[in-house]
Amino acid sequence: MSVTLRCAACGAEVEFEKLSPTMEKTCPGCQVKVRYRECDKQMAIPVSMSLPEEFTHVDLSSVADKSSLLVGRYKKTTEESDASNSVDLMLTKALKSLAHSIGHLDERLTRYEQGEAAASAEEEGEAGEETEAGGSDPDSGKRVKVVVNEGKGAGENGEIVHLEPEEKEKSSADGRANPVAARVLVRREAAKAAQEFWREKRGEEDWDERAGPANRLVGFSWLMANYPKGTILVTSVLLAALVAVSILWMEGLVSSRRAGNELTLAEPQVTPLSQLMADDPEAAMAETVARAYLNATSANAALPFVWGSDSIEEKFERYFRPLSQPGSYELSLKDRVMGEGGKPQFLYRVGVSGEKARSLLVLSEGVMPKVFWEFFEEVGDLSWPAFFSKRPESPVEMRVWLYPVEQYVVGYDKEKWQSYLLHDYAEKHKILAYAPRDLGDDWQISAALRDEPVNFNRHKAVMALLKLTYRSEFQTGEESGLVAEINDVHATSWLPLQD
């Protein structure tokens, strides 16, 4: 089945037997071979107008050159617009306008002089006729004639001055203005106008050659230019003085260093402990022993400085605890007394950061002072933590702080028992203890409370060396602890018992 398409070149109808891109027909209108294009059932395109399979690359640089050439022809540069705003361009335009004005004025003056010359010739003819009639005047040709003119081209007073013929010939042979002289006049006027303009714009300083920053002399250069000899002399004196001062300063510095070194070498370093050894050997020895014990971190290292170490060696090794911060503590002498046999006893206050201060007692043992460890650690037969953990049902010796209270539990009647609250120095452990009233063991405690109490936060307490037996526990409000019986009161002191 044939299909009719129109030629894309001339519009004539072309018949195709079938629609195939490979079939070509000759157009009857323009005699050009055409063929069917896919998806286009209206037009048949000429064979020469077929689209290529791959586009040919074009050199765009040549196109850019031609386009830049075309743009350059019609592009308006901004230099003129920028320059029109400058002062130089304004001055140039003003000078150009002035030159044109002077040129027009010169041309009009030339035309006016030519007309006056013709009028003067006519007046001279009339004057010659009058001379022939009335007599000749020998000076008439040399006179200067003043003509009053109220029109344009007149002088300042409206008068036109006509020169003598000789002077007129000197100035101009034919009576016309000299164009070279006119140009020189224009240049002079322009220069004068430019100079006045710049003087008004920038001031007199711009016209002074020495006013520019590049040529202006300041400081030492100005002094050398105006006063060379004096400047050289003063500079030399100042340099000599500077050298002399530097030499003297260096000598003083060296001498002071030598003197400082000699004094440092000659003077020995004095420490408080060495000074104490010179002033009080017993106190110095006691402090040395106390510091040696406090700095120890093990039982073996601390045992040689403990009083009565032979009898308490096993207990010491079991309950010894070094300081939480060995070497970081404060040791100060609190009291010093004379014990039995005239031997001194030293009581120190030991302060550790974050802990409550404790007391350390140094006693004499033979020829050497030693630390009474049981006093420092508050240890009897057991330590406070050991008593709370073991809860002994048989009597054990304890070093305690105690004071009377009115607190009774089941099994202990107020009429038969006296209640006491026992605690350590830090008040971390508390025991509610009862002593029989009929036995009279509590009289020592009562006497000590009356004579030598120690103030705590809310009460007064005394030291005591007791025999305790664990019975039970108690809980009253916020306080809790153990309940024990006081079997015996050995002493109201923590000092060692004398045989």
Q: What is the pLDDT of residues 144-188, one digit of tens each?
A: 444 444 444 444 444 444 445 554 454 444 545 455 555 556 667
Work out the angle at residue 370's Cα, subtended by the Cα atoms of residues 461 and 296, and round it to the nearest 5 degrees. Answer: 95
Residue 260's pLDDT band, with cuts at 50, 70 and 90, is very low
Sorting pLDDT into bands at 50, 70 and 90, what band is 457? low
Hey, which of 63-67, 81-85, 173-177, 273-277 has the most confident mean pLDDT? Answer: 273-277
Instruction: Identify the pLDDT of residue 387.
Output: 92
> CB-based contacts of 3: which residues, under 8 Å, 6+ apart?
15, 16, 17, 18, 19, 41
Residue 23 has pLDDT above 70, yes or no: yes
Res 127 pLDDT > 70: no
Query: How far apart are alpha carbons 272 and 431 in whole angstroms?
Result: 43
Measured CA to CA in angstroms, residue 249 lies from 255, 259, 434 at distances of: 10, 15, 85
Residue 94 has what pLDDT?
A: 78
Q: For strand 358-365 and strand 396-404, is the pairing parallel, antiparallel, or unpaired?
A: unpaired
Say if residue 249's pLDDT is above 80.
Answer: yes
Specify whether the CB–CB gap between 296 and 318 falls below 8 A.
no
What's the burial of 311, exposed, middle or buried (CB within 10 Å: 0-12/13-18/19+)? exposed
Span 359-369, average pLDDT: 88
Share of the chain above pLDDT 90, in %: 7
Q: Bigger pLDDT: 10 or 1?
A: 10
Q: What is the pLDDT of residue 342?
A: 80
The CA distance from 389 to 40, in Å, is: 109
pLDDT of residue 37: 84
| Helix (H) / strand (E) containing 196 | helix 179-202
Between 229 and 442, residue with greater pLDDT: 229
pLDDT of residue 470: 92
- Of 495, 464, 352, nearest to 398 by C-alpha is 464
d(CA 454, CA 466): 18
Write down the pLDDT at residue 25: 87
pLDDT exceeds cutoff 50 at 244? yes
The CA distance from 40 to 6, in Å, is 11
Cα Rg of the chain (Å, integer): 67
**What digits encode the pLDDT tens for the residues 46-57?**
886 545 455 556
- Is residue 337 over pLDDT 70? yes
Which amino acid, one-letter code, is at 401?
W
Q: How far apart are CA 20 and CA 1, in angstroms?
A: 12
| pLDDT value at residue 69 | 58
Residues 322 and 328: their CA atoms lie apart, in Å, by 12
Give the pLDDT confidence of 197-237 residue by residue, as tens digits.
777 666 555 445 444 555 566 777 888 888 888 888 889 99
Contacts of 201 (CB under 8 A, 6+ apart): 87
Cα 35 from chain centroid (whole Å): 81
Q: Is the pTM of this model over 0.75?
A: no
Residue 241 has pLDDT above 50, yes or no: yes
- pLDDT of 143 strictly over 50: no
pLDDT beyond 70 at 29: yes
pLDDT tier at 388, thresholds 50, 70, 90: very high
Q: How far apart are CA 202 and CA 199, in angstroms?
A: 6
Pair type for strands 3-7 and 40-46: parallel
Q: How many residues does the chain have?
A: 499
Check: CB of residue 5 under 8 Å from CB of residue 41: yes
Buried b (16+ CB within 10 A) or exposed e, 363-399: bbeeeebbbbbbbbbbbbebbbebbbeeeeeebbebb
Are β-strands 358-365 and 40-46 bridged in parallel, bridged antiparallel, or unpaired?
A: unpaired
**At residue 123, does pLDDT exceed 70?**
no
User: Which residue type sits at 397?
Assistant: E
Share above pLDDT 70 across residues of the chain, in percent, rounded to a whole number: 67
Model confidence pLDDT, tens digit, residues 267-323 = 444 456 667 666 788 888 888 898 889 988 888 988 999 988 888 888 888 889 888
pLDDT tens by residue, 467-498: 899 988 887 777 788 999 988 888 878 887 66
**What's the mean pLDDT when you consider all of the chain?**
74
Domains of the chain (ranges; CATH) run: 3-49 (2.20.28), 198-267 (no CATH), 273-377 (3.10.450), 384-491 (2.40.50)
For 419-430, give one letter per residue: b (16+ CB within 10 A) or e. bbbbbbbeeebb
Band (391; pLDDT cuts 50, 70, 90): very high
The answer for 441, left when phi > 0, alpha when psi is -120 to 50, beta otherwise, is alpha
